[in-house]
Amino acid sequence: MKVLAINCSPRKNWNTAQLLKSALEGAKSVGAEVEYIDLYDLNFAGCRSCMLCKRKGAERCHCYWKDELSPVIDKVFSANVLFIGTPIYLGRPTSQYFAFMERLHFSSLSYDDYSNYFKGNVNVGMFITMNATKEFYDKLYKAKFESYADDFKALNGEVSLYPCYNTLQVKDYSKFNMASFNEEEKKKVHDEHFSIDLENAYNLGVRLNR
């Protein structure tokens, strides 16, 4: 099994990254070959509408724009499992997440009949991290992010969405103008729940690779 993890957060070692790495450890425990990518390290933009992927006779499910994202798109289409993670910024995934998704979907979309050129099967685990509580997420974000997760059904595999609530933003809140957050409460939630989230991510890594 080939497993690809894409971190769509600009923070390389914080909540989203840790969940993705735990999922990869789970995948490795059942013999998968894994690769991890920090999306914000790459030089790329969203779809340029060059239409090269729509040329007659062109290779399908391949982005022809010559930058650092095109090889990643090839890796997604050749993987067995994709783990992708993003924090919630202003109620949405990160900007780089959307740029990646534009490129991924457009390269596999038929403009003859709007069908999907991709005939493979890639299971997807999507992790989202947020400052919001579960109650806030369920009320304002849940339906929206379930819709974002549904976009991955174009990869023809199982799609699992894992929300991680009320995350710890920084190690020392006293260094920042963040008075609307209760540091003691945030750290308590982190200490009580984040290890469980990491374990659940690990278990998802195992399950999607069986």
Q: What is the CATH number of the domain that holds 83?
A: 3.40.50.360
* pLDDT at res. 39: 97
Mean pLDDT of all residues in 141-161: 96
Q: List, for residues 60-117, the tens digit of each pLDDT value.
A: 999 999 999 999 999 999 999 999 999 999 999 999 999 999 999 999 999 999 999 9
Between 172 and 136, the higher pLDDT residue: 136
* pLDDT tens string 160-182: 999 999 998 888 888 989 888 88
Q: Helix (H, G, I), strand (E, B), or coil: what is residue 159?
A: strand
CB 23 within 8 A of CB 5: yes
Which pLDDT value is given to residue 77? 97
Total number of domains constituting the chain: 1
List all residues 6 or more positions away from 149 whose beta carbon is below 8 Å from its beta carbon: 124, 126, 159, 161
3-62 tens-digit pLDDT: 999 999 999 999 999 999 999 999 999 999 999 999 999 999 999 999 999 999 889 999
Domain span at 162: 2-207
Sign of CA dihedral 131, 136, 137, 140: negative
